[in-house]
Amino acid sequence: MFVSIAFAQTAGGAAGGMDIMGMLPLVLLFVLLYFLMIRPQAKKQKEHKTMLEALQKGDEVVAGGGVLGKVINVGEQFVTIEVSSGIEVLVQKPAVQTVLPKGTLKSAST
């Protein structure tokens, strides 16, 4: 009626925890995430920082919101952009998105 003897299993696998094969998909997922998302974003941020450091008077730029203009003054944190003759806009440096090739604004206005 009662089970008289209970035997513990003597043949064993890994003693608690995950083995290498169990962690492999997690490691591969992290490596894939790094190469597809983290690395390209870091590279893009580095290029943007380099572009902002090289910004100088006379550059034609696109600022946030699509504002086109010519840089007339570069400060530590701010850039003054001439949008039209006599109209100047003061923007933060990180708001400058792209430096355009020279002469782009003249061809865009005609």
Query: Where does residue 8 rank: exposed (0-12), middle (13-18), buried (19+ CB within 10 A)?
Result: exposed
17: Cα separation from own chain's centroid: 36
Both tokens of residue 76?
């530590």
pTM: 0.70
Q: In which residue are the tokens 């708001």 written?
A: 95
Distance, CA of 52 to CA of 72 (rounded, Å)? 14
Structure tokens at 62: 């696109």
Joined together, the tokens standing for residue 59 give 């550059």
pLDDT string in tens for the chain (110-residue length): 566 665 655 555 555 556 888 889 999 999 999 999 999 999 999 999 999 999 999 999 999 999 999 999 999 999 999 999 999 999 999 999 999 999 888 866 65
